[in-house]
Amino acid sequence: MKITVPTGDDAQPGVASIVIVEPEEARILVSLADQLQALLAEALESPIDDDSAVRRLLPDAYRHEPELADEWRRLSRRGLVDRKIGFARTLSRALAPVANDDLSHSVSISTDAALDWVRGIGDLRLVIADRMGIIVDGDEGTFGEPGLRDVYEWLAWMQDGLVQVIEASEPPTRSEAGS
Amino acid sequence: MTRVPAGESQGQLLERPVHAAEVPWTIVVWNDPVNLMSYVSWVFRRHFGVDAPTAEHLMMQVHSEGRATLAEGNREHMERHAEAMHEYGLWATVERAPR
């Protein structure tokens, strides 16, 4: 994979990055993103979060006020889950054509799509870390299939590259919350 | 809603029941072993609109002390921050401001 920022003659309006993706890479990402969407969809149906990965993806907003935590969950959870599913879906949809081909593709993404990728990849890392047993800073991860650690680190590299792409396409600081 | 403890209110003219809406709340971001330091810093810059040195300082506080307070205000506003942090995959909670 290569994450590039188109400049000069390659620059196109609305394109923040061109990502060159190998089919094998696309297949890994599509498979993970599809599993994440399923996990999130299940979480909406389940009254209790018995999966520690789900608890990390969708943490309580209050630690000491259970009633406020319940109220927040009732009001915010569905929307939050829908948006997280949307981030993962952006990844799957963009990469499905590459996964189904035997040649690498150049995938053009907008700043908005890059933001979805960054957050979807972050969620994938949270789930993988949970599956590997990464609990505190410095944990190497004891569980999971061989190669999972490489995928985990590859996702971090990808997320970092896309953050740089977004930074290059946006003004230096901007508050989304109007605070 | 908080109220003056029974037996202590008499003679304390400055004390009065405080409406819940007046109690300030904070948004706290907690350390986690997954998110990269550079990513956390970027989220702070992008979402809270703080400059790079401030974002770096807050990120280091999260990393070394386990938590940092990112903003203070009414509860609804802090809940919106919590939701945004969860969208970014950061672990954040809403807390009453220390009084």
Q: What is the pLDDT of residues B38-77, one digit of tens each?
A: 999 999 999 999 999 999 999 999 999 999 999 999 999 9
Decide if A177 and B80 are in contact by the 8 Å CB cutoff.
yes
Whether A10 and chain B come into contact, CB under 8 Å, resolves to: no
Q: Is the ipTM of this complex over 0.85?
A: yes
Q: Which two tokens stand for residue A98?
A: 């590459």
Q: Count of alpha carbons within 13 Å of B24, Cβ hemisphere only? A: 9
pLDDT in tens, A50-95: 899 999 999 999 999 999 999 999 999 999 999 999 999 999 999 9
Decide if B34 and A57 are in contact by the 8 Å CB cutoff.
no
- Given the candidates 3.40.50.880, 3.40.50.620, 1.10.3720.10, 3.30.1390.10, the CATH classification of the domain at B21-96 is 3.30.1390.10
Whether A90 and chain B come into contact, CB under 8 Å, resolves to: no
Q: Which two tokens stand for residue B25?
A: 């709340």
Residue A47 three-state SS: coil
pLDDT in tens, A86-114: 999 999 999 999 999 999 999 999 999 99
* % of chain A exceeding 90 in pLDDT: 78
Decide if B86 and A136 are in contact by the 8 Å CB cutoff.
no
Shortest distance between the Cα of B50 and any Cα of chain A, in A, equals: 7
Q: Kindly list the distances between the CA atom of residue B79 and the CA atoms of A16, A155, B88, B92, in Å, as whole numbers in the listed order.
A: 31, 29, 14, 10
The H or E element spanning position A91 is helix A66-99
Sequence-distant (6+) residues with CB within 8 A of A138 are B33
Q: List CB contacts (< 8 A) between A61 and chain B.
A: 79, 82-83, 86, 92-94
Domain locations along chain A:
2-167
Shortest distance between the Cα of A102 and any Cα of chain B, in A, equals: 33
